[in-house]
A and B are shown apart, each in its own frame.
Chain A
Amino acid sequence: MTTERPVLALLASVLASVLASLVALAPAMAFERTEERAPCAEHAPLRRPFFGDTHVHTTYSYDANTLGVRNTPADAYRFARGERLGIQPYDELGHPQRQVQLRRPLDFAAVTDHAELLGEVHICTTPGVVGYDSLMCRINRRWPLLAYMIVNSAMLNFDEPVRYSLCGPDGARCREAARGPWQAIQQAAEEAYDRTAACRFTSFVAYEYSGNPFGNMLHRNVIFRNAAVQERPTNYIETRTGHELWARLRTECLDRDDGCDVLTIPHNSNISGGALFPIEDADGVPLDAATAALSARVERLIEITQHKGTSECRAATPFAEDELCGFELLPFARMDQYPFKRWWTEPPRGVHAREILGEGLVQEARLGVNPFKLGMIGATDSHLGTPGLTDEDVFPGHGAGGDTTRLEIPRVPDRLFFNPGGLAAVWAEENSRDALFAAMQRREVYGTSGPRMVVRFFGGWEYAEDLCTAPALAASGYAGGVAMGGDLPPRPPDGTPRFVVQATADSGDDGRGTVGLARLQVIKVWLEDGISRERIFDVAGEASNVGAGVDPETCLSDGSGSTSLCAVWHDPEFDPAAPALYYARVLERPSCRWSTYTCLREGVRCDAEVPPPADLAYCCEGETPKTIQERAWTSPIWYGPPAAVVATRSLPDAD
């Protein structure tokens, strides 16, 4: 006993000093507490990743409702916390015919029902309410799919939607009716939020602003920091542009003095026709600095992947051949093209995140502020009320877009070009609204296509070459530079930026099994002669592994790949005069796509004498990829040279 105590004391003092030094090295910017709640028992000064879904629809969304979804926001949050949930179709007694459950609960979620038609759904589903017996509501209840086609096309897929007569002559009845579901959304979020010290789950009050003028998707999720929110969600019927949306958010939230704070997350730029990030208004007037600043204040993230495809990059550009851009790309340019293959066209420039980030550099050089300084997250866009249900092997479909499992369970759960969507990973000190929201605001987030790989990405000027083997990578990362989403500190003389990217494979403890990592890449986008350019660098792992790793006949992994990869990389082509940004992409070894699991589940044998039925013919045709490389995308780290250098080197045509 007498000899143990000094040893324990020594150990304790060493531990305390190590912890103290780690805390001292921890990022200086802590989050501000804006709500009353118990402090979290688990607090990580060097931050830890929390996985969640910020894009989920329930029966309050008109499209989900008419396509047979009955789950409410409260149900969605129960599901996110790990409970089983029944989903469509329902039998005559109202019992769901399918049950789903997450293999691992989420840490956070935000239900984002469409702001448009919230009131209409309420009126048409609440007997006794004025408008319940209107023509549109009758069609709604009797032939819901027909109603979906009529109303969705007029209200969500139209440039100038006008409310139906059930809303009264000026639409006030529907605007007023929207208060009910909006209150219910807030209440469900409050009830799901764990305000105890356990901090098991965080919910956000949120909604989706959804306009589709001329078929171009102008959709943004609006996420509130805490319980102080807008009186009513802003919708496309009354507010037609992103700029007007931000202006309303400023006056109805940010300018208040009750702690209301908000950010918007655009999604599906891949099918926006380039209209989601306009650099001029309808009259051709270029974006001004004030609008760009408001955009930069409110819009901090972009949803880079979700059910309706990935928006990172196009398969080939004039400046960079990136063979990995073909991941879950939609084959059409606008959502209104998708019913008929002959309508499909190539998306224009300016719809992919890499192009948008590059345009941000161009605009920053022009305006002095970058309106498109966007971090990256993933989400599902589930319309079944099932946040985080990204597993390829149990994908039940999406529950919207006109395809529905309202009436029966199809063999193939969704259109082949759709996918289960992804997740958001947020580096925060604790699982609370303030901590997560602050992380989203500083863009210390990354998106994944579903798996929960853990990714660190730091940028600085003087990281040691052997940082990957150092015991305190995160502490050194924060101390010597910035994490993903940040701006590189001022460049020292002759400095060359260094980046540390570290990734750990999803542990596979969800029953999916471990799929090892294949490689790490750093993608650089920079401004040269006023044009954004891009280049992809492999920084760790083996590019030659692509194509191996899984047997598509069984979907069994060969167990190859790395459990973790790490690299310290410096930009060999760094031009101190060129504004630039860098983000990391983490690739898993190949694994089976959901459509391949479907073929296996249905027992399709391509060598059988009898060909598979028409809906399963794809299993043997080769057009649909059998395997995919799941991945993660980090938020970028930006480099900005001194303004005078930019003016003389990067914009020769500016004057």
Chain B
Amino acid sequence: MTTRSIRTVLWFALLLMAPVPLMLGVASGFMPVARALMFAGVCLAVMVVEGMRGAVDLLALMLLAQAFVFGALWFAVAAVAARVFALLPRRVATVGVVLAVLAGVIATSSISWYQTPFRGAGTRANLWEIFE
């Protein structure tokens, strides 16, 4: 893997798995950036189908803003990590990246790290439940 591809893989993994605080006025949670992007997408879909009414545009903006901030943060983290991996032999780096991502998947799948008031049932969720 090239440094760029390592950075991309790690960034996507962080976006999908790393929990970040998300605040939406009366509700707040601790969930991956991808979840915020998903809700932003839902709000945008509502705006397209139903028009801009009430706070849907504000919600979309808040979601996108927070996703942008944490997305940028994770990009920086991924870039630094990629540079570290780049110091290793390519095969070792690739294995290291794969293992790191796998460890993340296993950890976030087996433990309910995330906290979200938006689900249909239960505030705590693991990786699969948060996107269900």
Contacts and interface: CB of A to CB of B under 8 A. Distances in A.
A408 B124 CA distance: 9
Contacts, number: 76
Given A154-B53, A155-B54, A165-B49, A146 B118 contact: yes
A149 B54 CA distance: 9
Nearest to B47: A150
A586 to B, nearest CB: 35
Contacts of A152: 54
Interface string A154-168: 110110011011000
Given A135-B45, A135-B49, A402-B27, A407 B121 contact: yes
A143 B45 CA distance: 14
Contacts of A149: 24-27, 55, 59
A144 interface: yes
B54 A153 contact: yes
B117 interface: yes
B118 A92 contact: no
Contact of A157 (B46, B54, B118): B54
A136 B27 CA distance: 19
A153 B55 CA distance: 6
Given A145-B118, A165-B49, A402 B25 contact: yes
B78 to A, nearest CB: 28
B43 interface: yes
Interface string B26-70: 110000000000010011011001110111101100000000000
Contacts of B54: 150-155, 157-158, 161
B27 A145 contact: yes
Interface in B82-121: 117-121
Interface string A326-345: 00000000000011100000
B56 A407 contact: no
Q: Which of A150, A151, A153 has the most CB of B within 10 A?
A: A150
B45 to A, nearest CB: 6
B123 interface: yes
A139 interface: yes
Q: Which of B24, B46, B59, B122 has the most CB of A within 10 A?
A: B46
A136 B119 contact: no
Interface residues of A, number: 33
Contacts of A154: 53-56
Nearest to A336: B55
Nearest to B43: A150
B49 A407 contact: no
A168 to B, nearest CB: 13
A145 B56 contact: no
A142 interface: yes
Contacts of A158: 53-54
B56 A402 contact: no
Nearest to A403: B26
Contacts of B119: 143, 407
A162 B53 contact: yes
B118 to A, nearest CB: 5
Contacts of A401: 26
Given A139-B42, A149-B24, A407 B122 contact: yes
Contacts of A164: 50
Contacts of A142: 120
A29 to B, nearest CB: 47
Contacts of B58: 153
A150 B120 contact: no
A158 B56 CA distance: 12
7 contacts: A135-B46, A143-B119, A146-B42, A162-B51, A401-B26, A402-B27, A408-B122
Given A145-B118, A161-B53, 10 more contacts: A136-B46, A142-B120, A143-B39, A146-B59, A149-B25, A150-B54, A150-B55, A153-B55, A404-B117, A408-B123
Interface of B: 24-27, 39, 42-43, 45-46, 49-51, 53-56, 58-59, 117-123
Which 10 A-B pairs rank lowest in CB-CB distance, beginning with the nearest? A154-B54, A402-B26, A153-B54, A153-B55, A339-B25, A154-B53, A407-B123, A143-B118, A150-B56, A339-B26
